[in-house]
Amino acid sequence: MVELSSWEERAKRLLRAEMARKGFSYQKLVNAFEPMGIKEDEHNLRNKIARGKFSAALLLQCLEAMDTWDVRISR
């Protein structure tokens, strides 16, 4: 069985890769949250993503804020 920390690392890499692909900084992501009614601080968001300790809900919020609907998950 794979340890949870490796799953957290994969989630973190997936989100960071999508941010890079779409040209999103943490501040740009925070700004994109505002019309969605999501209040987030850049520092807190950066820490959550860096630790890989974020909910599936936050992952979906980030993807929607970046207008991402297709995500490739590979091994």
pLDDT, tens digit, 9 for 90 and up, residues 41-58:
999 999 999 999 899 999
End-to-end CA distance of the chain: 15
**Which residues of the chain are modeled with pLDDT < 70?**
1-4, 75
| Domain membership flag for residue 21 | yes
Q: What is the pTM of this model?
A: 0.87
| Domain membership flag for residue 26 | yes
- Give the chain's domain count: 1
Q: State the pLDDT at residue 73.
A: 83
| Domain membership flag for residue 72 | no
| Domain membership flag for residue 75 | no
Task: Report whether 15 contacts 62 (CB < 8 A).
Answer: yes
Mean pLDDT of the chain: 92
| Domain membership flag for residue 71 | no
Range of the domain at 28: 4-65
